[in-house]
Amino acid sequence: MDKKSYIEIRAQIEQKALSTLSQIGTLDELESWRIDTLGRNGTVTGLLRGISDLPVDGRKEAGSQANSLKDVLTKKYEAYKADIGSSASIRTRNGPSFLDVTLPGRNIALGSLHPTTAAVREICRVFESMGFQTIEGPEVELDTYNFQKLNIPKEHPARDMWNSLWIDRELADGSRPLLLRTHTSPMQIRTMESQPPPVRVVVPGKTYRYEATDATHEWQFCQIEGLAVDKDITFANLKATLEEFAKRIFGDKRKARFRCDFFPFVEPGAEVSIDCFKCEGNGCPVCGNTGWIEIMGAGMVHPKVLAGVGYDPEIYSGFAWGMGAERIAMLKHGIDDIRHFYSNDMKFLKQFS
């Protein structure tokens, strides 16, 4: 026998062994297959014995090939043995094999995005499609950016709207320059300071407040800020943009409502609500019986804020908004307690896979 025919024989043996194996349904059949291939007089054993018939220079390689075939088939045998031994497939001695098709399929581990992340992505995607760019900013901020440049001077009573967690550092005058940002609004300033108009950005990020935690309040949460500044941007644009947002997130039927509200860095200021998607505005526990659900604060960028970053408020105008990502997620999924978000219970998180 020459080397070439030896390789062919090996391939034939392999093919036959594998095709026979695939027909096997019982342990008895498997055992006789083992004897036929791997047993003392089996085909593979014969192949190994045949090595000595080969010319000397080919023996080494042929031996290696035959041994690896033996390894492969032995493994297959073990696997089949385990398989037939298990209850997975029900095979009859003579008839065709069949499966209990109602048994569960093999589990493919499915991960999940945190609902806050999912909400942030969904919200940002809506604004991105309107030409806004998603950017991020620092979580530890300067008082200057978190408050002062947003038209909230020191000792201004509006500071009570954002109870702050201060970083333990003091300037010579005793004031604390650093805090955990209480909102994403400082990025309005950072963005405008870093580029000339036009501006269209959406800024998601963690924010922090010194606030007791309850079903609707978390001291750490994720806010999504937005800002558009250019010549001729108007309150009518603010309304249209946020109405469109409300429809895309909560459905085509949703109406947005705008009422006057106060934030020192906008004028006019607004609170945006949508008509309750649960009760269609008739009043239910979700909307606190008002028929309306608050979703964000918004307004036209205050001329002082524009002037502060070197934009001429006589030429440029803009609008801004801020909303809580968890709040949007709670409304969408009917989550009744914000504390679920940071308790990280898998039983909660896996619902969002």
Partner 1 sequence: MKIPLSWLRNYVEIDSPVTDLAHSLTMAGLEVGSIEHIGEKWESESLVVAQVIQLEQHPNADRLRLPTLDLGKGEKARVVCGAPNLEVGQKIVFAKEGASLFNPRSGKHEILKGASIRGIESKGMVCSAIELGIGEDNGGILVLDDESVTGTPIKELLSDSIINTELTPNRPDCLSVIGTAYEIAALFGKNIIEPESSYQSGDTNINDRIKVSIQDPLNCPRYTGSLIENITVGPSPVWLQDVLTKSGQRPINNVVDITNYVMLEYGQPLHAFDFNKLEGDEIIVRQASVSESLQTLDSQRRTLMPPMLVIADTSKPIGLAGIMGGVNTEIDEDTTDIFLEAANFNAANTRATRSSLGLNTEASYRFERDIRHELAPIALKRATYLISQLCGGIPAEGIIDTFSAPHHIKTIEITETRFEKILGVPVSMKDIWNIIKRLGFEKIEEDVIPVINVNPPFWRSDISIQDDVIEEFARIYGYDNLPSSSLASQIPSQGSENSQTVREHIRDRLVSAGMNETISYSITDIETINLFDSISSDQQPITIANPMDASKKYLRPTLVPNVLETLSRNRRTDQQTGLRLFEIGRVFLPLQTDEMDSMPIEKEEIVGVITGFSTSTDLWLESDRLMDFFDAKGIIEHIFRGLSGVLSYTKNDRPIYETGKTADVFLDEVLIGQIGELKSDLSEFYDLSASPVIIFHLFLESIQKAAQLQSVDYYEPSRYPSSFRDLALISSKEVDSESIVSTIKGNKLVADSFPIDKYEGAEVPDGKHSLTMRIIFQSNEKTLSAKEIDRAHVQIIKSLEHQYKISERYS
Active site includes 209?
Answer: yes
Report phi then psi at 182, rounded to 5.
-90, -10
Q: Select the residue interacting with partner 1 from 138, 194, 217, 337 (CB under 8 A).
A: 138
Catalytic member of 183, 200, 254, 302: 183
Distance of CA 112 to the CA centre of its chain: 7
Instruction: Note whether 203 and 226 are within 8 A (CB).
Output: yes
**94 or 102: CB nearest partner 1:** 102
Catalytic member of 17, 309, 320, 329: 320
Size of the site for partner 1 (CB under 8 A): 107
Secondary structure of 181-226 as H, E, C letters: CCCCCHHHHHHHHHCCCCEEEEEEEEEECCCCCECCECCEEEEEEE
Site for partner 1 in 281-320 (CB under 8 A): 300, 302-303, 317
Interface with partner 1 by CB under 8 A: which range of 13-21, 32-40, 115-123, 329-337?
115-123
Catalytic member of 199, 266, 270, 298: 266
Active site includes 183?
Answer: yes
In whole angstroms, what is the distance from residue 162 CA to residue 213 CA? 15
Q: Dihedral of CA 279/284/285/286: which sign?
A: positive
Q: Select the residue interacting with partner 1 from 9, 32, 36, 167 (CB under 8 A).
A: 167
CB of 178 to partner 1, least distance (A): 7
Active site includes 49?
Answer: no
CB of 334 to partner 1, least distance (A): 20
CB of 94 to partner 1, least distance (A): 26
173 belongs to the binding site for partner 1 (CB under 8 A): no
In whole angstroms, what is the distance from residue 202 CA to residue 131 CA? 10
Rounded to 5 degrees, what angle do the CA atoms 334, 337, 338 make? Answer: 100
SS3 category, 347: helix
Catalytic member of 17, 44, 119, 162: 162
Q: Dihedral of CA 205/206/211/212: which sign?
A: positive
Instruction: Note whether 295 and 331 are within 8 A (CB).
Output: yes
Site for partner 1 in 18-37 (CB under 8 A): none
Token readout for 235 is 């309150």
Q: Select the residue interacting with partner 1 from 19, 41, 94, 154 (CB under 8 A).
A: 154
133 belongs to the binding site for partner 1 (CB under 8 A): yes
Instruction: Note whether 128 and 197 are within 8 A (CB).
Output: no
In whole angstroms, what is the distance from residue 71 CA to residue 14 CA? 12
122 belongs to the binding site for partner 1 (CB under 8 A): no
Site for partner 1 in 206-265 (CB under 8 A): 206, 208, 210, 219-220, 228, 230-237, 239-241, 243-244, 257-262, 264
Of 190, 212, 210, the residue nearest 201 (C-alpha): 190
Active site includes 65?
Answer: no
Site string for partner 1, 40-69 (x = CB under 8 A): --------------------xx-xxx-xx-
CB of 302 to partner 1, least distance (A): 7
Site for partner 1 in 174-203 (CB under 8 A): 176-178, 180, 195, 198-200
Token readout for 20 is 């026979």
What positions carry a catalytic annotation? 162, 183, 209, 223, 266, 320
